[in-house]
Structure 1
Amino acid sequence: MAKSKRAARALQIAVVGGGWAGCAAAVELARAGHGVTLFEASRTLGGRARRVALDAGVLDNGQHILLGAYSETLRLLKLVGVEPRRALLNLPLQMRYPPGSGGMDFVAPRWPAPLHLAAALLRAKGLARADKLALARFSSTARWMGWQLHQDCSVSELLERYDQTARLNQLMWRPLCLAALNTPPERASAQVFLSVLRDSLGAKRAASDMLLPKVDLSALFPDAAAAFAVRHGASVLTGATVTGLRQLDGGRWQVEARGEAAGGAFDGVVLASPAAHAAQVLENLQDPATSSIATQLQAFETEAISTCYLQYAPGLRLEQAFFALVDAPAAGHWGQFVFDRGQLDATQPGLLAVVVSASGAAAAQGQTALAEAIARQLAEVFRRPELASPAWSRLITDKRATFACTPGLSRPGNATGLPGLTLAGDYTASDYPATIEAAVRSGVLAAADYGAAP
């Protein structure tokens, strides 16, 4: 890997926010020779993809699937000393449901693209001939279109336009849309969905691989990123809440903070905090440019994600590391994917994690009721009565997990219009939805404004 060019002049840069975007920016800035101070309000790095310490032990605040297409994430993992082959379970593209649950079995072999998809389609079980033809037609048409739309619309409209079957929508397109965009198909951006498909299904075979973390999310990148930055002279301050920014004479910036940090003056600031906090900081600057961005961010709708952890006897295992689930709220089936954590991390035997994306309605059931419903769902679809009675369960819901990725949504760029102040976060302008890769790419772009080149 080529080394980055060092900045023409070493600057003192504050990075506000220790999520994946902030950590990516800190790594690139420190590598370029800048003096970096990273401020994180929490005691744990990682933002909305981090570990949490609970009475039950260390869990993640949400179960994630990465893709082989996450090129910047994988590059930075290697850069900070994390070996993807050891930290991630690499599985071929698949959409597999529990046998007998009314789903399908779709697995792509590790063949060159696009033969891997053709083979998966031919071998798929649980899809009728009409379903397979519809999927092939959609894929070929999307390629012919260059994965681009003249005008954005909802994913549901796109699927209807290309005559996708009801069964294919239920078993393939809806779960993929929820997993990737965390927005229901009837409200999700078709163009962003196509961009995700372009870089996974429409790219080389390895790009469609599904990567499951085998370590907690903070250990996967943020912790190693912070250690890398510190080795390159950075300071990492946790428990340090930034309350505001102030422009100083000479183009410098004052960072106002509370906690274990007293703030300080810097040549530049990368504002990598969540969209709501960034909007507040930008609005308080009372500058027309930043006020406009603040108004833009305040208009974002948010979507929740819930992850239900269920602990069973240590010997309990599923037939594979994860399954898709048919979500049917009317039947009390809220779960969309289930992961066998014991197959990912040997220290978590018997622990299952069930994900509910766009979980507003599900979370409204209440923590206890939703956890019990998910346990019953698992018992029914796997035909294993013991799954209805876990030793304990824990539901973690992030009510502002992502922005709602709706058609035509206008997202701000990294530039704020003020010299020395740059935005970073999964909500900045991108053809990707609010994913780990979008956050990392944004952090890298923000660092590039200060001469830090990958």
Structure 2
Amino acid sequence: MAKQFAGKSVAVIGAGWAGCAAAVELARAGHQVTLFEAARTLGGRARRVATDRRQLDNGQHILLGAYRETLRLMALVGVDREAALLNLPLQMRYPPHGGGMDFVAPRLPAPLHLLAALLRAKGLARADKMSLARFSSTARWMGWQLHNDCSVSELLQRFDQTDRLIQLMWRPLCLAALNTPPERASAQVFLNVLRDSLGAKRAASDMLLPRADLSKLFPDAAAAYLAKHGGTVRSGAKVRRLQRESDDAGQAAGAWRLEVSGEAVGGTWGASFDGVVLACAPPQAAVLLHDIAASEAAIATLCAGLTAFEAETITTCYLQYEPALRLALPMYALLDAPERYHWGQFVFDRGQLDAAQAGLLAVVVSASAEAAAMAQPLLAEAIAVQLATVFERPELGTPQWFKVITEKRATFACTPGLQRPANATGLAGLAIAGDYTASDYPATLESAVRSGVAAAAGLWDAPPRPG
């Protein structure tokens, strides 16, 4: 960041991964940062939660080796990558008797790792393998770019992908990466993810499974980093109002006034800052920008965009068994078939990631609005029966206990041609950050972190205002 801005006071509103990234970058640049979070736990939509059973995450995540900014900031704040993440080669592996496939990329230089994985893949016919090879070569030839965006389903049809490959490879990858069904998901964003993983160096396609809880994985360490660099973290502090301060003549000055409430500030508290990064969810950001929108046309337009996102749901079903229970692998893909009440799409053996969670399985259902509408005991029972069936292990049908955690606004629907706002608001000293801002990526941890970094870097670099 430019030296003339060093030492300014900055408020970051929202301690999700975007807000934590912005706060770390601002503190590293020498600014006085105060990080506000309405909840008591840091992490936003990727955090730990205390339940009546045990401490869990609000969802299971997979990071990729391509997440360069996330991994950089984790290292910066002192997170030991080897201890915090289990590194697996790119894979799509189904239970041996579940009618799926077994696709594992060996640790060879790219693109040889994909060629070897394709040749060794089990459960795919020759036509399926040729289909996958054709997709990869054509996408590379196109530079992973489309002239006009379309749905992932339409893209796969254009590339003559087989029904089986779509079912076993492309659909689960689309759901995992974009949390949007292929028939509604953006093909260009999907290609962007494939470009930076399948189309890059082998290590970029590695799958990184968190061993630590999601708050500990980065947000908690970011808060500690902030404290060491003179910053302040106020959790349990909700920002109620954001206003531009005026000078004696009634003209807008350079500072921003926040009104905050909560136990962390002793009830109600107000303070002024040189800059503000809005890193809360789009609806909350729109509420805070409401007063400014009344006098700023650009902010009014931004608010309209912030309220237009369509939310997508993610459900994670935790099933606890005897501690001795263990799957052969730490992660499997599952064939979801809602018509047969097979809702699970991926299952994770948490005991292989954290010994304290032995016997705990986490089953993920992306784009899960239909599943989330079910009564939780019925959904958990259906998922347990699904596991018992596909693994041919009857004991999986009777867990000791379950916990279903649903994030109803986990991500936005990543649809073709979706317009996403820039970090800059047009007002110096005010930026927005979040996985929903303009990016090549869908709503992932990496897009959140990149957005936070970009917001911090451009906080005072407002573009010229029209008129």
1:49 aligns with 2:75: no
Residue 258 of structure 1 aligns to which amino acid in structure 2? S
Q: How far did 1:8 drift? A: 4.2
The amino acid that maps onto 1:150 is: H
SS at match of 1:248: strand
Match of 2:148 among 148, 151, 163: 151
Whether 1:280 and 2:301 are equivalent positions in the alignment is no
2:195 aligns with: 198
- Is residue 315–residue 350 contact of structure 1 (8 Å, CA) maintained in 2? yes
1:347 partnered with 2:392? no
Cα displacement (A) at 1:263: 3.4
2:254 aligned partner: 251
For structure 2, the 5+ residue unaligned runs are: 247-252, 462-467
Distance 1:117 1:275 in 2: 38
Native 8 Å contact 1:37 1:235 kept in 2: yes
1:135 counterpart (115, 132, 135): 132
1:365: how far off?
A: 1.6
Counting only pairs closer than 5 Å after superposition, residues 55-454 of structure 1 correspond to structure 2 as 55-249=52-246, 250-259=253-262, 260-261=264-265, 262-285=269-292, 286=294, 287-450=296-459
Q: Secondary structure at the match of 1:293?
A: helix
- Any conservation in 1 of the 2:428–2:459 contact (CA below 8 Å)? no
- Following the alignment from structure 2 to structure 1, what is the Cα–Cα distance between the partners of residues 130 and 2? 50
Contact 1:72 1:441 in 2 (8 A): yes
Instruction: Name the Cα RMSD after superposition.
Output: 1.1
- Structure 1 170/302 Cα, relative in aligned 2: closer, same or farther at 3 Å? same
- Checking the alignment, whether the CA contact within 8 Å between 2:430 and 2:459 is kept in structure 1 is no
In structure 1, give the amino acid aligned to 2:261: R
Residue 314 of structure 1 aligns with an amino acid whose one-letter code is P
In the aligned structure 2, how far is the partner of 1:271 from the partner of 1:358? 26
Distance (whole Å) between structure 1 residues aligned to residue 223 and residue 288 of structure 2: 24
Query: What secondary structure does 2:289 align onto?
Result: helix
Superposed CA offset, 1:46-65 (max 9, x none): 00000001121110000000
- Does the 8 A contact of 1:321 with 1:340 survive in 2? yes
Alignment partner of 2:363: what SS?
strand
Per-residue deviation, 1:119: 0.3
Per-residue deviation, 1:369: 1.1
Q: Following the alignment from structure 1 to structure 2, what is the Cα–Cα distance between the partners of residues 377 and 361?
A: 17
Aligned-partner Cα distance in 1 for 2:285–2:375? 30
Q: Do the aligned residues in 1 keep the contact of 2:431 with 2:459 (CA within 8 Å)?
A: no
- Work out whether residues 15 and 22 of structure 1, in 8 Å CA contact, stay in contact via their aligned partners in 2: yes
Q: In structure 2, how many angstroms separate the alpha carbons of the residues matched to 1:431 and 1:305?
A: 21
1:359-389 deviations in Å (ceiling 9; x for gaps): 0011112211111110110000000111111
2:21 paired with 1:24:
yes
Q: CA shift at 1:215, angstroms?
A: 0.4
Does structure 1 retain, via aligned residues, the 8 Å contact 2:279–2:434? Answer: yes
In 2, Cα distance between equivalents of 1:181 and 1:45? 23
The ranges of structure 1 where at least 4 consecutive aligned residues each deviate by more than 4 angstroms after the TM superposition are 4-8
Counterpart Cα distance in 1 of 2:388 and 2:182: 28
Residues 6 and 451 in structure 1, CA contact (< 8 A), matched pair in contact too:
no
The one-letter code of the counterpart of 2:30 is: G
Shift of 1:297: 1.6
Alpha-carbon distance between aligned partners in 2 of 1:7 and 1:178, rounded to the nearest angstrom: 45
Amino acid at match of 1:421: L
Instruction: Give the drift of 1:7.
Output: 5.7
Secondary structure of residue in 1 paired with 2:356: coil
TM-score (norm 2): 0.95
Q: How many residues align?
A: 449
Question: 2:464 matched to which residue of 1?
Answer: none
Instruction: Tell me the secondary structure at the aligned position of residue 299 of structure 1.
Output: coil
- Is contact 1:153-1:407 (8 Å) kept? yes
After TM superposition, give the deviation of residue 283 of structure 1 in Å.
2.7
Query: How far is 1:6 from its partner?
Result: 5.4
Match of 1:11 in 2: 8
% of aligned pairs identical?
71
* 1:200-235: CA deviation from partner (whole Å, max 9, x where unpaired): 000000000000000000000000001001100001
Cα gap change, 1:429/1:368 in structure 2, threshold over 3 Å: closer, same or farther? same
Please tell me the residue identity of whatever aligns with 2:254. G
Q: Deviations over 1:371-409 (max 9, x none)?
A: 111011000000011111100000000000000000000
